[in-house]
């Protein structure tokens, strides 16, 4: 069973949750960004100490920062909210008579 530890990464004006996992099958260190949870995941082989893993994260902070910036802010999906969709800005419109989700001009009927 993998060992899991939770850490907070702090730099500049933000704090990012970091989940650290040691996995028996891992052969190398791996850092991934998880946009849905807005957290980072560091996977370590069992023989790599946590201190070395944290140095690895420190060396990858510029990459992680770019990933966070590319994710953007969370937007509440409520009626009349304007969201980006495939490079365009569309407004969410509640349409109970519509079947499924439909796009008409600059509106997304849901």
- Domain residues for 21? 3-71
Question: Are residue 57 and residue 87 in the same domain, yes or no?
Answer: no
Do 44 and 13 lie in one domain? The reply is: yes
**Predicted local confidence at residue 2, as pLDDT:** 60
Average pLDDT on 35-47 reads 94
DSSP line for 35-102: TTTTEEEEEE-TTS-HHHHHHHHHHTHHHHHHHHHHH-------TT-EEEETTEEEEEE--TTSSS-E
pLDDT digits (tens, 9 = 90+) for 6-22: 888 887 788 899 999 99
Same domain, 25 and 47: yes
Residues 67, 80: one domain? no
Note whether 34 and 85 are same-domain residues: no
Residues 21 and 67 in one domain: yes
- Let me know: does 91 contact 108? Beta carbons within 8 Å: yes
Q: Considering its fold, how many domains does the chain have in total?
A: 2
Residues 67 and 79 in one domain: no
| Same domain? 80 vs 36 | no
> From CA 7, how far away is CA 23, in angstroms rounded?
17
Query: How many C-beta neighbours within 10 Å does residue 109 have?
Result: 18
pTM of the model: 0.68
With CA atoms as reference, report the closest residue to 57 among 19, 97, 101. 19
């Amino acid at each position: 069973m993998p060992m899991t530890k939770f850490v907070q990464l702090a730099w500049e004006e933000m704090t990012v949750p970091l989940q650290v996992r040691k996995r028996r099958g891992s052969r190398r260190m791996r850092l991934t960004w998880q946009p849905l949870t807005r957290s980072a995941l560091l996977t370590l082989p069992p023989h790599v100490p946590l201190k070395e893993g944290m140095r690895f994260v420190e060396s990858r902070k510029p990459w992680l920062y770019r990933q966070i910036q590319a994710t953007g802010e969370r937007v509440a999906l409520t009626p009349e909210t304007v969201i980006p969709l495939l490079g365009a800005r569309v407004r969410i419109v509640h349409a109970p008579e519509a079947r499924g989700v439909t796009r008409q001009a600059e509106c997304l009927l849901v």
